[in-house]
Amino acid sequence: MYDLVIRNGKLVTEKGVIDADLAVLGGKIANIVPRSQAPGTDAVSIGDSAEKIDAEGKYVLPGGVDVHTHLDMPLRDGLKSADDFVTGTIAAAIGGTTTVVDYACQEPQGSLKEALNVWKGKAKGACVDYGMHMTIARVDDETLSEMADMVSQGVTSFKIYLVYDMRLNDEEIYTVLERSAHLGTLVTVHCENYGVIRYRTKKLLAEGKADPKYHAISRPDRCEGEAVNRVLQIAAMADMAPVYIVHNTCREGVKYIEEARSMGQPVFAETCPQYLLLDDSKYELPGFEGAKYVMSPPLRSKADQEYLWQAIKNGTIKVIATDHCPFTFEEKKIGLHNFSAIPNGGTGIEERIALMYSEGRKQGLSYTDLSKLTATNPAKLFGMYPRKGTIRIGSDADLVLYDADRKTTITHDILHENVDYTCYEGVTVDGYPAMTILRGKVIAKDRAFVGEMGKGQFIRRDLP
């Protein structure tokens, strides 16, 4: 007797899509029975269960794994990202994501342990499972030694920035990467050139160029390319430390990743829906509308979008995450007369799965390809596989029933993110998640959260 059986779905497995019934016991996938093996007798073949779901006509996807979120993230002057772990994970659940890995942040004078405790406190109300990456804001003996403690706490990846107040210099980057190589962890890197952006920003503002569109002009693609190249060179010198370049936006950066990968360097690349689906024409919108798309790196050209799709298809980009970091339009208005004061970040935690399965299919990607980009690969790279990110016996029963025929126009009012706009207003997707299951429990159905609050579990991640 199983807890749950899902019948008649098309299961999106790593080996392809199969018509099969799936049984859940104790929160895990307990059995998978292809229907072709038992024609007309599926009810008998898989066995009985307390709860039954008919997935006729629907795809059953592995629950989405979003490895780039900033929930409840303090920015400055008391300003925080608009979604906390409750609202953000409810939105994630409804949108078909069952695991997030959020970026905990070391305080300039604080320890990594303190930061982890703070983030675990923030995450208490989480409604999907969650892990943490640890952002390193200060490089000294204490931090370097604490990196090993993080591994024993299940935090097996770190983040470094080349811009913002927590940016590291080249010596610090080298030191962290060398330590990470020794520990077997993965360092994720935000790549942009700080000095060039600072100079251009000051110049633009001095010329009275303060509108949101100048945000993009202040940080062109070569800023990203230079920083990606620099990090790859440093990583190669620092014992070939594996690195994961977050939110790739453009050819200028990805070309260096392609070259490094072709030489066998361990480098992994992520992009996000906004860089695949939105372009820099958004900065030409009237009034202050462009502020909604002020994020870093900024949106790029249509040619860059095309390059990113090709990099997905040729296997250079392995992960599509969100960088979900919303601020309300009101909060964005802090930068009404100075683009550099606009809080950086956009939406996506709820929209990602619908957007990527719809647009990805149009690009010729298969359901299995898309499940790898949005679930399997991130779970593997960040030490959660095969517990997360795949449909196979023994894995957590984190599943999404995806209705490929539920054409939906995304608007702010149908979403649950705690913010007053979506970057994808008016985008029509071919299909939509109809139900989300976390460890065998239905937590979202027909765009409503129906789970128990606060049932998300902290995932202690293995070394990748």
Name which of Zn ion, ligand DUC, none residue 344 binds, using a CB cut-off of 5 to 8 Å depending on partner kind: ligand DUC
Is 70 a binding residue for ligand DUC by CB under 6 A? The answer is yes
Q: How far apart are CA 92 and CA 52, in angstroms?
A: 24
Of the candidates 64, 220, 290, 345, which one interacts with ligand DUC according to CB under 6 A? 345
Is 133 a binding residue for Zn ion by CB under 5 A? The answer is no
Measured from the CB atom, is 190 or 387 closer to Zn ion?
Answer: 190
Bridge partners, 23 (sequence order): 5, 31
Measured from the CB atom, is 252 or 323 closer to Zn ion?
Answer: 323
List the Cα angle 249/381/15 in 5-degree steps. Answer: 100
* Minimum CB–partner distance for residue 179 and ligand DUC (Å): 23
Is 323 a binding residue for Zn ion by CB under 5 A? The answer is yes
Q: How far apart are CA 351 and CA 96, in angstroms?
A: 9
The residues, ordered by sequence, that sit 6+ positions from 151 with a Cβ below 8 Å of its Cβ are: 183, 184, 185, 463
Nearest residue to Zn ion, by Cβ distance, number only: 190
Measured from the CB atom, is 6 or 325 closer to ligand DUC?
Answer: 325
Q: How far apart are CA 214 and CA 231, in angstroms?
A: 26
* Minimum CB–partner distance for residue 251 and ligand DUC (Å): 20
Is 66 a binding residue for Zn ion by CB under 5 A? The answer is no
Is 216 a binding residue for ligand DUC by CB under 6 A? The answer is no
The 3-state DSSP class for residue 413 equals: helix
Task: Name which of residues 295 to 334 contact ligand DUC (CB under 6 A).
Answer: 295-296, 323, 325
Q: How far apart are CA 205 and CA 196, in angstroms?
A: 14
Pairing of strands 399-403, 432-438: antiparallel
353 token code pair: 């799965």
* Minimum CB–partner distance for residue 298 and ligand DUC (Å): 9
Task: Name which of residues 263 to 302 contact ligand DUC (CB under 6 A).
Answer: 295-296
Do 146 and 111 touch, CB atoms closer than 8 A? yes
Do 419 and 437 touch, CB atoms closer than 8 A? no
Task: Name which of residues 187 to 206 contact Zn ion (CB under 5 A).
Answer: 190
142 token code pair: 């204490």
* Minimum CB–partner distance for residue 130 and ligand DUC (Å): 18
Long-range CB contact pairs, 408-416, < 8 A, 24+: 408/354, 408/432, 410/351, 410/354, 410/355, 414/447, 415/91, 415/347, 415/350, 415/351, 416/87, 416/90, 416/91, 416/94, 416/350, 416/449
* Minimum CB–partner distance for residue 207 and ligand DUC (Å): 24
Measured from the CB atom, is 105 or 438 closer to Zn ion?
Answer: 105
Measured from the CB atom, is 217 or 236 closer to ligand DUC?
Answer: 217
Name which of Zn ion, ligand DUC, none residue 86 binds, using a CB cut-off of 5 to 8 Å depending on partner kind: none
Residues that bind ligand DUC (rule: CB under 6 A) add up to a total of: 8
Binding site for Zn ion (CB under 5 A): 190, 323
Binding site for ligand DUC (CB under 6 A): 70, 190, 295-296, 323, 325, 344-345
